[in-house]
Amino acid sequence: MARPGLFISFEGIDGAGKSSHLEALAQALRAQGREVVCTREPGGTPLAEKLRALLLAAPMDALTEALLAFAARRDHLVQVIGPALARDAVVLCDRFTDATFAYQGAGRGVDFEMLSQLELMVQTDIAQMPGLMLEPDLTLWFDLPPETAAQRLAGVRLPDRFESQPVEFFRRVAQGYAARAAAAPQRFVRLDAAQERAQVWQQICAALSERGWLPAPAAGSPATGPAHMPANAA
Ligand code: TYD
């Protein structure tokens, strides 16, 4: 039986512009009468936000990073994501497990098999869905050349531990996302994040309307009208 709710994750290297589109999509879905929960990883609960602060600031080895990310994820799934899906809400999550494979796996060298085992353990038996491994129904992958992302991020704010990594690190992270996308082509939609903000938004609307989650766009116009268009690509 299909599980209730709709779970959409937003992924991409730092600077790819996913956050502002998440807010816009929440508005568009709420306009359809859906309950929408916007959240992020690591984070989304008081405990997971504490783990996020450690992960982004404290020096640690790569496996410790992965374990913290998954510990935060378990709490987030149990407290927020699982219950929201069980009551048939839409969950829009800024990053999820693909980020751990991309950053800690491809970027920092943690063994993929180990990450797969953690994924299975952490994402199974949540809420009233025993035996099911919870994962997104759709992953919007904001794909952007690492050099472009670095230019966008330069000087915007004080970089965290990941944002301050060299462009070579982000090349590996981007390859990690590409590998995850190739392994789950039905779940992933690749967005060309180098395009103008309005065009990226149209790609998102097209992906959702193809699945029947947003109305089909009227010919020649954005799917949900300019009111939902994000003002900033953060
Ligand atoms: P991000 O989601 O980009 O938030 P902000 O917009 O505040 O920068 O930052 C979270 C960082 O955490 C990002 O650099 C990727 C990293 N991260 C991991 O390394 N592993 C993970 O499992 C997750 C979810 C995030």
The CATH number that applies at residue 46 is: 3.40.50.300
For residue 31, give the 3-state DSSP assignment. Answer: coil
Q: Whose CA is nearest to atom 14 of ligand 1?
A: 162
Whether 152 has a pLDDT exceeding 80, the answer reads yes
Tell me whether residue 106 is in a domain. Answer: yes
Question: How far apart are the CA of 95 and the centre of ligand 1, in A?
Answer: 7
Residue 131 among known ligand-binding residues: no
Spell out the long-range contacts of 208-216 with Cβ–Cβ below 8 A and sequence spacing 24 or more.
208/25, 208/28, 208/138, 211/138, 213/6, 213/29, 214/28, 214/29, 214/32, 215/32
CB contact set of 37 (below 8 Å; sequence gap of 6+): 80, 81, 84, 89, 90, 91, 92
Q: Three-state SS for 40?
A: strand
Q: Is position 182 within any domain?
A: yes
pLDDT grade for 220, boundaries at 50, 70 and 90: low
Question: Which residues make Cβ contacts (< 8 Å) with residue 98, sequence separation at least 6?
Answer: 9, 11, 139, 141, 177, 180
**Annotated binding residue 75:** no
The SS3 assignment for 160 reads coil
State the chain's mean pLDDT as an integer. 92
Q: pLDDT, tens digit, for every residue of 116-136?
A: 999 999 999 998 788 889 999
- Note whether residue 44 is domain-resident: yes
Ligand 1 atom with minimal separation from the 100 CA: 22
Q: pLDDT for 42-73, tens place per residue?
A: 999 999 999 999 999 999 999 999 999 999 99
Q: Is residue 233 part of a domain?
A: no
DSSP state of 228: G
What span, in angstroms and rounded, lies between the C-alpha atoms of 58 and 65?
10
Question: Ligand 1 centre and the CA of 42: distance in Å?
Answer: 7
Residue 97, pLDDT score: 98
With a 6 Å cutoff on the Cβ, whether 42 touches ligand 1 is: yes
Confidence of residue 156 (pLDDT cuts 50, 70, 90): confident
- Domain with 182, as residue range(s), is 6-216
100-210-175 Cα angle (round to 5): 25
Residue 95 lies in a domain: yes
Instruction: Say whether the peptide bond before residue 42 is cis (omega within 30 degrees of 0).
Output: yes
Determine if residue 17 is labeled as part of a ligand binding site. Answer: yes
Q: What is the pLDDT of residue 130?
A: 83
Q: What is the per-residue pLDDT for 131?
A: 86
Question: What is the average per-residue pLDDT within 133-160?
Answer: 91
Looking at the structure of the chain, the number of domains it has is 1
Q: Say if residue 171's pLDDT is above 90.
A: yes
Q: Does any domain span residue 194?
A: yes
